């Protein structure tokens, strides 16, 4: 009897950037409503998605990245956890042991990027890892006084989950400031504030090749590349997020950078083309060879 297939095979994609091996590991994803794009008319949102052959409500992918620099393994973002994420399974499918992750480097502390650090029983997911995050990001989420609206349930949960994710790593958290351009050897920090105060993109560069991992510069590429001024309810500073988005997209287009991001369709690798008033993400060709 033929088995009925109910899920995808492990979602892993390896890409060489010079001497560095980057493994994109999916954390899965889910459909989310359009209301977080709080200035976008829902019917217009559906129209944009339909015109680009995308489902509505849109699907939010969640990607993480294992960066192998000379045998030192850095995981960029830890996924969602909460019983939704599959990043641990896919790290193992990529050929790595969870115990071998030496560093978890965070783009920011929203729960879909950091909650995978902690298991349901409150213990560490990555037993031997140091957690590295920009100082302004860490300081913001560790202090409840930074809540703009303490009665806002989404904001309450975001602060609570960030603090819960960090708790088991006490003594193993290292923050870095603006002057530290390479917080982890072989990985450059690119300031990208707005979505959160210390939101950071990371640039991998080796032997003349480059990959920009841009974090949450866009959440839905169909919407925010076509309409780069669209804000998200989770943006801590929506106006700055727009400025940062355009700056990063312009830079990626001008420099013809290979890019990927946490919410681009897996594995997200591609390039950015700039048009008159919008951008296009051109996926890189899939290859069976490194």
Q: What is the pLDDT along the chain (290 residues), one digit of tens a residue?
A: 567 887 788 899 999 999 999 999 999 999 999 999 999 999 999 999 999 999 999 999 999 999 999 999 999 999 998 767 799 999 999 999 999 999 999 999 999 999 999 998 999 999 999 999 999 999 999 999 999 888 889 999 999 999 999 999 999 999 999 999 999 999 999 999 999 999 999 999 999 999 999 999 999 999 999 999 999 999 999 999 999 999 999 999 999 999 999 999 999 999 999 999 999 999 999 888 88
User: What is the model's pLDDT at position 84?
Assistant: 72
User: What is the model's pLDDT at position 6?
Assistant: 79
CB 214 within 8 A of CB 205: no
Please give the DSSP secondary-structure letter assigned to residue 158: H
Answer whether CATH 3.60.15.10 is correct for domain 12-283: yes
Contacts of 44 (CB under 8 A, 6+ apart): none
Which residue has tokens 């950015």? 272
Which residues are 59's β-sheet partners?
Answer: 31
Cα separation of the two ends of the chain: 37
Instruction: Determine how β-strand 101-105 pairs with β-strand 72-76.
Output: parallel
**What are the residue boundaries of the structural domains of the chain, listed by start?**
12-283
User: What is the model's pLDDT at position 9?
Assistant: 83
State how far the alpha carbon of 233 is from the alpha carbons of 30, 79, 224, 237, in Å: 18, 20, 14, 10
User: What is the model's pLDDT at position 1?
Assistant: 53
Which residue has tokens 């001008």? 254
- Edge-to-edge strand list for the sheet holding 187-191: 187-191, 200-206, 209-213, 258-260, 270-274, 279-283
Please give the Cα distance from 80 to 77 (Å, whole number).
9
**pTM metric for this prediction:** 0.96
């Amino acid at each position: 009897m033929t088995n009925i297939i109910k899920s995808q095979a492990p979602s892993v994609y390896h890409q060489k950037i010079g001497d560095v091996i980057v493994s994109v590991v999916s954390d899965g994803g889910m459909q989310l409503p359009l209301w977080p794009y709080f200035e976008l008319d829902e019917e217009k949102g559906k129209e944009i998605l339909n015109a680009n052959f995308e489902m509505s409500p849109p699907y939010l992918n969640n990607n993480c990245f294992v960066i192998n620099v000379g045998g030192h393994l850095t995981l960029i973002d830890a996924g969602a956890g909460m019983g939704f994420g599959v990043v641990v399974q896919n790290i193992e499918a990529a050929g790595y042991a969870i115990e071998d992750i030496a560093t978890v480097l965070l783009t920011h502390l929203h729960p879909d990027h950091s909650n995978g650090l902690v298991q349901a029983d409150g213990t560490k997911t990555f037993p031997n890892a140091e957690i590295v995050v920009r100082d302004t990001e860490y300081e913001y989420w560790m202090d409840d006084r930074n809540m703009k609206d303490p009665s806002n349930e989404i904001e309450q949960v975001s602060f609570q989950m960030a603090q819960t994710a960090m708790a088991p790593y006490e003594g193993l958290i290292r923050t870095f400031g603006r002057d530290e351009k390479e917080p982890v050897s072989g990985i450059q920090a690119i300031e990208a504030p707005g979505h959160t105060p210390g939101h950071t993109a990371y640039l991998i560069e080796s032997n003349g090749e480059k990959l920009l991992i841009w974090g949450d510069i866009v959440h839905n590429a169909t919407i925010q590349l076509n309409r780069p001024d669209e804000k998200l309810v989770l943006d801590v500073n929506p106006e700055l997020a727009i400025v940062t988005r355009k700056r990063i997209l312009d830079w990626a287009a001008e420099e013809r950078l290979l890019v990927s991001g946490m919410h681009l369709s897996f594995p997200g690798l591609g390039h950015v083309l700039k048009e008159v008033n919008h951008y296009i993400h051109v996926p890189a060709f899939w290859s069976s060879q490194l």
